[in-house]
Amino acid sequence: MKNNFLLKIVILLMSFAMMGDSVIVPIVPNIFEAFPDASPFLQNFIISGPMLIAIPATLICGKLAQFISKKYLLIFSYLIAAFAGIGIAFVDSVFLFVLFRSLLGITFGFLAASAFGLIAELFKEEKERSSVMGWYNSMTALFGVLIATASGYIAVSNWHYSFFINIAAIPIVLLMIFVLPVTPPEGKVQQDGDQNEKQKMPYLKVGALSVSAIVYNALYMILFYFVAVYLQEANLGDASTAGIMSSVGTVGSFVAGMIFANFYGKVKRFTPATFFLVLAACYFVLSMDVNLLIVGIAVFVAGWTYNLSMSYYFLTATMIVPPAVLTLSTGITNASIGLGCYLAPSAINWYQGIFNVPTLKGTFLYVALTLVVCGVISIILAMRHSKNLPVIESQDMKGQA
């Protein structure tokens, strides 16, 4: 593959749009103040609406990949990111604000599905594919920290100006146009040796992976979304402390992405058991009376498990399906992750209602026990499979840097 290094750089830069939504994190109070008459539904949609829109968008992208090259789907998603991400800075109507946020949801859905599908198509050797996917997820974490920090500083002058950070999408889309190869639509991909046999989606395997992704993300996001509430209940800090803890978790996520290829190469099919059980340990520690340093360590390790899980889910989604349905598989996986994130607030209510605990911290022990059960199930399933996940090799990739 020519210009392999430059291609990898462009792919990593594409993760910018996935975290472009971090712009909104420091300016939520400003937005609510700008639209005081907005209903609670619209206020909530401004925050989490894009993730909800991303669920059907990612499935639609998976279907479109049957007819359109992933390069064009990625360029389309980035053009929307540039238009909506920058244009929202000039919006004064809450309904237009919601519309632009919805457009960004389309970007998230299309980008997640097609980016991982393209990585799987271009890097067919298992170790290189896992390495690129791990670094891609690390870059999303890094961009998240940088964008949120820059947005906070810019908002001191005018919160509208924070959205101009998305101007960075313009040079990135230009690089995508000139560097990304035009891959054939997946509908044209046929199984070797049989041009007439349609490659089918193994829905049982993809479904099992999706259930795991939903459960893990619903439980991890309890800590991610509500770390400020936890700190307040434990009298360990305020909003600024929560911001620091969020960054600590992101650093843990970044580290996981950097080492994912080597880590996965050692544990293989036991990767889900690892991130379920390690996250369980984090929740168990946080369920006790601990100091801020211990909380920081637990949040760091929890962030580490998050990127480990993300890299595993997307890598596995590309390895258990034939080439003709790569993007649809990653789309289903991304939709499952989004659904899990969306269910996190409800999961807290379920735990509080079932176990009759009034506080967030009081639910953490039961979350930990749930994760232990998931970890044990993962170990049993891994031991039932005597072989590792299939290694996907390509003669074209051998001997290339």
User: In this predicted structure, what is the pLDDT of residue 108?
Assistant: 87
Residue 342 has a pLDDT of 80
Q: Is residue 12 part of a domain?
A: yes
Token pair belonging to 188: 């044209």
Section 186-197 average pLDDT: 56
Q: Which residues pair with 194 in a beta bridge?
A: 191
Longest Cα–Cα distance in the chain? 65
Same domain, residue pair 105 and 245: no
Distances (CA, A) of 354 to 199, 350, 373: 44, 6, 17
Quick one: 152 and 244 in the same domain?
no
What is the predicted pLDDT for the residue at 390?
45
The 10 Å Cβ neighbour count of residue 6 is 12
- Pair 173, 264 in one domain: no
**Is there a domain that residue 222 lies in?**
yes
Average pLDDT (307-330) is 88
In a domain, 389, yes or no: no
Adjacent-strand bridge partners of 241: none
Task: Find out whether 180 and 100 touch, Cβ atoms under 8 Å.
Answer: no
pLDDT at 283: 96
Beta strands in 194-351 (DSSP E): none
191 pairs with which residues across the strands? 194
From CA 231, how far away is CA 239, in angstroms rounded?
Answer: 9
Provide the pLDDT confidence category of residue 397 given band limits of 50, 70 and 90.
very low
Of 230, 223, 287, 215, the C-alpha closest to 252 is 223
DSSP E strands, 148-251: none
CA 155/CA 132 separation, integer angstroms: 34
- The residue from 188, 216, 232 where one domain ends is 188
Query: Per residue in 65-86, pLDDT tens?
Result: 889 999 999 999 999 999 999 9
Q: Which pLDDT tens digit goes with each residue over 25-70?
A: 778 778 888 888 888 788 778 877 787 888 899 889 988 988 999 9
Q: Residues of the chain with pLDDT > 70: what percent?
A: 92
pLDDT band with cut points at 50, 70 and 90 for residue 391: very low
What is residue 389's predicted lDDT score, i.e. its pLDDT? 47
Say what the pLDDT of residue 328 is.
Answer: 85
pLDDT-derived band at 237, boundaries 50, 70, 90: confident
Residue 396 resides in a domain: no
Average pLDDT over the chain, rounded to whole? Answer: 85
Q: Give the structural domain span for 64.
A: 4-188
| Distance from C-alpha of 61 to C-alpha of 57, rounded to nearest angstrom | 6
Q: Is 191 helix (H, G, I), strand (E, B) or coil?
A: strand
- pTM as predicted: 0.80
Low-confidence winner among 233-237, 318-322, 389-393 (lowest mean pLDDT): 389-393
Question: Residue 253 in contact with residue 135, Cβ under 8 Å?
Answer: no
In a domain, 311, yes or no: yes
d(CA 127, CA 132): 9
The number of folded domains in the chain is 2
Of 54-63, 300-309, 337-346, the one with minimum mean pLDDT is 337-346
Q: How far is CA 333 from CA 34, 123, 149, 240, 338, in A?
A: 36, 19, 29, 33, 9
pLDDT (tens digit per residue) in 107-145? 888 988 899 889 988 888 878 888 898 899 889 888 888
Specify the CATH number for the domain of residue 342.
1.20.1250.20
Tally the C-alpha atoms within 13 A of residue 25's C-alpha that lie toward its C-beta.
Answer: 23
At residue 154, the pLDDT reads: 87
Same domain, 142 and 182: yes
184 and 215 assigned to the same domain: no
